[in-house]
Amino acid sequence: MEELRSLADLLDLQEVDLQIDRLLHERQSLPELEEYRKAHGHHEGLTGELADAEQVLRDTSLELDKTEGELEINVGRLDAEQNRLYAGGMSARDADYLRREVEMLTRQRGEAETRVLELMESREIQEAAVTDLKGRLEEATAAVAQVGGVIKEAWRGIDAQLAAKESRKTEMVAQVDEGLLDLYDQLRNTKEGVAVGALTDGMCGGCHLKLTAAEVLDAKRTDPPRCIHCRRILVI
């Protein structure tokens, strides 16, 4: 492989680096990425809502089972006490006590029946809410997958270009003096990716400032030539 013919070849290396920078920026700033973040956030929100709604439904179902069990016990006791009361054969005092017991159990049954109806209505509403959330979550899952697929396809194309550019850069870097390459990399890091500028009509291609004839002569005396204004490598 040929040696770099001159500092001008650094301009080609810089162009490849800038192309890599642009591809990396494009990869990280796809408009679909923001859409994906929103879709994913919506999905996460629905997942949390569904978990909460399912927990509320479980709690309601447990309370309903408990209340129905208590109602069943109450009805059994009430029937037994009413049968005793109707059977007679007890003292007036015992009969009065039993009547009060039947009244209390009757009141408790009514309260329990009302509570059972309330819980059944609540459970029905909560089941509908859970069903709705599951449907919305399914749609959100599909939306995340759809946008994710678009991003993966775009990344596949960008990554193919990056691989080609990186391969080309590897070939070019192998031809650059190590010290010059170190300087180039340092300047790239501090000069917004532009380490080299061509001198055209006395103007630096890096900072776009004019150099006097004396400044051009001073630049030529350094190795490598450096712009007097921005200190980028100057290709004269």
Tell me, yes or no, whether 123 and 39 share the same domain.
yes
**Burial of 230 by CB count in 10 Å (0-12 exposed, 13-18 middle, 19+ buried)?**
middle
Q: Which residues of the chain have pLDDT under 70?
A: 1-6
**Within a domain: residue 134?**
yes
Pair 34, 140 in one domain: yes
How confident is the model at residue 195, as a pLDDT? 96
Segment holding 203, helix H or strand E: strand 203-204
Query: Which CATH number covers residue 131?
Result: 1.10.287.1490
Instruction: Return the closest-CA partner of residue 63 out of 21, 122, 4.
Output: 122
Q: Is residue 102 part of a domain?
A: yes
Within a domain: residue 97? Answer: yes
- Give the predicted TM-score (pTM) of the model: 0.72
Closest CA to 82 of 99, 64, 104: 99
For residue 225, say if its preceding peptide bond is cis, omega within 30 degrees of 0: no
Query: pLDDT tens-digit profile of 186-206?
Result: 999 999 999 999 999 999 999
Assigned domain for 52 exists? yes
SS (H, E, C) 39-91: HHHHHHHHHHHHHHHHHHHHHHHHHHHHHHHHHHHHHHHHHHHHHHHHHCCCC
Count of structural domains within the chain: 2
Q: Do 143 and 207 fall into the same domain?
A: no
Q: Rounded to an integer, what distance in angstroms lies between the CA atom of residue 236 and that of residue 231?
A: 14
Q: Is there a single domain that holds both residue 123 and residue 206?
A: no
Q: What is the pLDDT of residue 88?
A: 74
Domain that holds residue 124: 30-153
- The whole-number pLDDT of residue 6 equals 67
State the pLDDT at residue 21: 96
Domain assignment present for 141: yes
